[in-house]
């Protein structure tokens, strides 16, 4: 593997322990919460950042960009991708999936991590790649309520990573726009149940979607 890509996941992904945290999902029914989202110390958004610049505020400290599948392939083909408002505003990027070895990424490529790194690194902003160990933990957490091998969503993986080193006494992370719906391959019911448990434990405050 070229030295430029040696252990890209080694850059530890951890937020300041005392920071207030808003995690903003992309459910279409996300309500207007611009002020309370923007007042958080850390604002984490996903992919096309639903409501950014409007009803969900205009700050983003970390932007998670799915680095496997057709969405990243479309972004890589968009010459104006780096000029998108949420991308320009992001202070750091999160790639949720570890890089597949080249020999495992075929015959039809699904992993675009190398290309995403080549696109994002010239911005000079940190890029965090979530490690396989986190994926293994996510699958263990979801397995009891899932038929077969769980395939965690990006929102679940990133939230799990954000809470991983967060002190138990920290203010609960505030989660907006989590609809637990979308691609049918994700275990939405199991993820919803995990978020409910995290909320009961005071780790997350899940804001309801707008009617």
What would the pLDDT profile of 111-153 be if each residue is shown by its tens digit? 999 999 999 999 999 999 999 999 999 999 999 999 889 999 9
Q: Is the dihedral of CA 73, 75, 80, 83 positive or negative?
A: negative
Distance of CA 188 to the CA centre of its chain: 16
State the first-to-last Cα distance of the chain, in angstroms, to the nearest integer.
50
Distance of CA 41 to the CA centre of its chain: 17
User: What value does the mean pLDDT take over residues 181-202?
Assistant: 95
Residue 176: Cβ within 10 Å count: 26
DSSP letter, residue 68 = B
Is the model's pLDDT at 66 over the cut of 90?
Answer: yes
The per-residue DSSP string of 88-154 comes to HH-SEEEE-SPPPPGGGS-SS--B-HHHHHHHHGGG---EEE--HHHHHHHHHHHGGGSSSS----H
Question: Mapping DSSP to helix (H, G, I), strand (E, B) and coil, where does residue 12 land?
Answer: coil
Token pair of 22, please? Answer: 């808003």
**Is the pLDDT reported for residue 8 higher than 60?**
no
pLDDT band at 13 (very low <50, low <70, confident <90, very high): low
* H or E segment to which residue 158 belongs: helix 154-164
> What residues form DSSP beta bridges with 81?
none
The whole-number pLDDT of residue 106 equals 83
CA-CA distance, 46 to 178, in Å (whole number)? 11
CATH class (in words) of the domain with range 21-206: alpha beta
Average pLDDT over residues 194-207: 96
Mean of all residue pLDDT scores within the chain: 90
Report the pLDDT value the prediction gives residue 1, as an integer from 0 to 100.
28
Q: Is pTM beyond 0.75 here? A: yes
Rg (CA), the chain: 17
What's the CA gap between 137 and 11, in Å, rounded?
Answer: 19
What residue segments make up the domains of the chain, in order of their start?
21-206
pLDDT tens-place string over residues 87-104? 999 999 999 999 999 888
Answer yes or no: is pLDDT of 191 > 70: yes
Place of tokens 């309520």: 145
Q: What pLDDT score does 131 carry?
A: 92
Distance of CA 101 to the CA centre of its chain: 22
Mean pLDDT score, 14-26: 87
pLDDT band, very low/low/confident/very high, at 165 (cuts 50, 70, 90): confident
Q: Which one of 102-106, 151-155, 207-211 scores highest in mean pLDDT?
A: 151-155
Looking at residue 36, what DSSP letter applies?
A: H
pLDDT score at 4:
34
Mean pLDDT of 82-90: 97
**Mean pLDDT on 29-51:** 94
pLDDT confidence band for 2 (50 / 70 / 90): very low
């Amino acid at each position: 593997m070229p030295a430029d890509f040696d252990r890209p996941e080694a850059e530890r992904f951890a937020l300041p322990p005392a920071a207030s945290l808003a995690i903003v999902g992309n459910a279409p029914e996300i309500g207007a919460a611009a002020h309370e989202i923007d007042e958080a110390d850390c604002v984490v958004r996903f992919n096309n950042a639903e409501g950014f610049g409007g009803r969900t505020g205009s700050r983003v400290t970390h932007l998670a960009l799915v680095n496997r599948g057709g969405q990243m392939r479309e972004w890589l083909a968009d010459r104006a991708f780096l000029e998108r408002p949420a991308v320009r505003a992001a202070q750091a990027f999160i790639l949720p999936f570890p890089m597949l070895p080249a020999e495992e990424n075929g015959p039809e490529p699904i992993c675009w991590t190398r290309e995403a790194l080549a696109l994002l690194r010239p911005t000079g902003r940190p890029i965090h790649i979530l490690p396989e160990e986190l994926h293994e933990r996510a699958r263990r957490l979801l397995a009891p309520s899932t038929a077969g091998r769980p395939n965690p969503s990006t929102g679940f993986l990133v939230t799990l990573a954000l809470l991983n080193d967060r002190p138990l006494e920290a203010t609960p992370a505030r989660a907006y726009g989590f609809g637990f719906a979308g691609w049918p391959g994700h275990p939405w019911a199991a993820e919803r149940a995990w978020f409910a448990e995290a909320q009961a434990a005071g780790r997350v405050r899940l804001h309801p979607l707008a009617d």
